[in-house]
Structure 1
Amino acid sequence: VTSKWKTPAIVMVAGCLICMIGFGVRSTFGLFLTPMTGAIGWDRETYALAIAIQNLLWGFMMPVAGILADRYGYVLVIMGGAVVYALGILGMAVTESTTVLYLTAGVLTGAGVSFTAFTLIATAMARVVGPEKRSLVFGIGAAATSFGQVLFSPITQGFIDGYGWESGLYFLLFSTLIILPLALLLPFSPSVQGEDEGGQTIPEAIREASQHRGYILLTTGFFVCGFHVAFIGVHFPAYVT
């Protein structure tokens, strides 16, 4: 049961801030390609592979995040994801090992992104309003997510230029930890307001989704979008002067 003080407005503000931080941090990793590889002596391919692993883990872990959120509630899953996210960024800041880079920038941050992603947060926000307002909630959440990218990229670049790439990563680390108190403002219960969920099992949900033409087309579209956007986001900043 959602606490009475967790009004839809409070949940919306907290959710939008989490979306903004989660995706804003994730969108800045391309800014570190040149300074990190130059300082440590890695080649471009080493860093790019770590971010590729991150993107794959982000996608693969999204269903896991949803399953855990339905079972244990959004608050615990998002808070756990924020901790994993922060540990991944911390590992990036202190390691000179390519193996550790793949585990931190790749596996840990990828899992952290998926557990603090827009789809998970937007679902939590949508569950405190009626069905007639969910499209509006998703739109506001998507706008906050995009604004995070606009906000974090120049600030992070400022830290890199002024204080070094390690300081830029520590800025991202502490920003990610802000998600912890914000998550407490979200509803603990995974139940949906105004709906009977019908007790659908996970295999049944997967079977239904895999047979839905709209779901297949949407997933394919996001795959294409994610592939080229991630590629540009990682490699393009190195060519900007």
Structure 2
Amino acid sequence: MSLAISYINEGYDNAAYATLERWIETKYPQIAEKARLANATIKDNDDRYTLNKKVTDLFIKAAQLSPDIANMDADVQTGLGVLFYSMEEYDKTLDCFQAAINCNPEDALSWNRLGASLANSNKPEQAIEAYTRALQLNPNFVRARYNLGVSFINMGMYKDAVEQLLTGLSMHEVDGVVDGASSGVVAESNQSLSLIETLKRAFLAMDRRDLLDKVKTGMNVSTFRKLYGF
């Protein structure tokens, strides 16, 4: 599942669909076998729309096995959310990620994915709430902190954005911090660089061009905070 999400994040949709199909084949072999017999003409090199529909149908059939929340498979809902997300069907994505959260309300990754989907649905206030919940569950979740910073920028809350981005950068200075970069939707390949570039965006919006040269890879965040009052 994490590998499939990483493929989606990097734009390798067909690889993601193939990975999700293998996930279904492993956990729900009976569904995959029936689908294979019914859709023998669909090939792995078909266009992304055909492949998406094929795999989405598999996940829907898996979801129908346990329609009630008590027995629902959160991973199936996550997979469906990712499939809908890749096709920019954000309303359906939101429903799936919310269902995954209903199954496991303490899962910070699901809250981060919900936040990203809300942000893409032009619901920044709700996105901020979801990212904040993810950070309450896992304060070391740098990806959620980065996403929260971006949402604050989009809301014009630049000082709040700077606080989150600097905190995220400070976590990169600590060995062993699990940032979850590959587990949230729309992740970046180089998260530290993303934090730095986004921090510069915030300072530009604040008309603090004097700080742009001070923001760089390897910067001492604590010293920066003391010198410039952040």
The TM-score, its normalising length taken from structure 2, stands at 0.22
Q: Which has the higher contact order (CA 8 A, sep 6+)?
A: 1
Larger radius of gyration between Structure 1 and Structure 2: 2
Write 1 or 2 for the structure with the bigger share of helix: 1
